Structure 1
Amino acid sequence: MAVEWVRLALDLEAFDESPFLPRLRSCREAGVELTTMAAVGDTPEHRRALYELNKACSADIPGRGAFHTFDEYLAQRIETPVYDPRGVVLARDGDAWIGMAATTIRPEGFAFSEMTGVRAGYRGRGISLAMKLLAIGFARSGGVPVLRAFHHPGNTVAIAMNRRLGFVPEPAQG
């Protein structure tokens, strides 16, 4: 039986981040650094760290299955025309990479939330929401009107976070 993905969209022109800004401040006050892949350097070493982080954060996504090999990850996520290291928000605790929110600007005229995740030991602190705010800022900088996200229906925490930010259901594209 095929899974019917939950398709959500955020109107970037109407989005008001002001109610969520305290979350950014509280993360920073708690010592969580929010940065981007571009800021830390899009190096082979950092690509490997991003892969390991993405793999760890994806491990408990319902229906995920086996994660890509490193070479597959590079080919499918990094070495593509839509990859932009400015669109990969990172959360760090000291030297530890603890969260990521990867967003791409698509040539079809929208932004796509590729992945938002936080290592298990850091969940429940609002880090995902803080990263998502910065990802929304990146999407807005691309001049597109909408940010889309797809979720397995069992990924209720991610769906709820996006709904809290104002994402609404989007009908399946034919």
Structure 2
Amino acid sequence: MLKNALMLAALLLPACFANAHEFKVGDLQINHPWSQELPPNAPTVAAYFVIHNPGSTADRLTAVDSPIAGKAELHEHVRQLDLMKMQQVASVDIPAKGDVTFAPMAYHVMLLDLKDRSLLQDGKHFPLTLHFAKAGDVTVEVSVQKQPPAGSHDMSHMDHMQ
């Protein structure tokens, strides 16, 4: 009986990860982490998600890391003259009773010096650890998708970056 229960749990575990789109640490909830599938020779990949803070205390995302990359950075897009430019930021403030959206053409996580490209294909997942000043650390599973989820920012302007 126990052997059958363990076998069932092992079979269902991948399905649970496939449907796990929300992660929690302290008061913070990280919703729908995702990354877009890119060509195999892409030098970097970006990760996106929404951080929801229903609590009464602000927090700060101070760093990120992933075993699939040699380096992970927090970035944002800013308009300079008529161009959108991507730049690294030291941290991202998470306001009390507020949301911060990491999306194309907004805040995002850049993964550089990619080590394991096998996890960057449609339907795969990879771990990403978020380090918060107050809430602590949380590891989320980033879902790799061929297309951005409905409602994400338009990626057609990516060619305007410097």
Q: TM-score, normalised by structure 2?
A: 0.29
Q: TM-score, normalised by structure 1?
A: 0.27
Q: Which has the higher helix share?
A: 1
Q: Which has the higher strand share?
A: 2
Higher RCO by CA contacts (8 Å cutoff, separation 6 or greater): 1
Which has the higher Rg, Structure 1 or Structure 2? 2
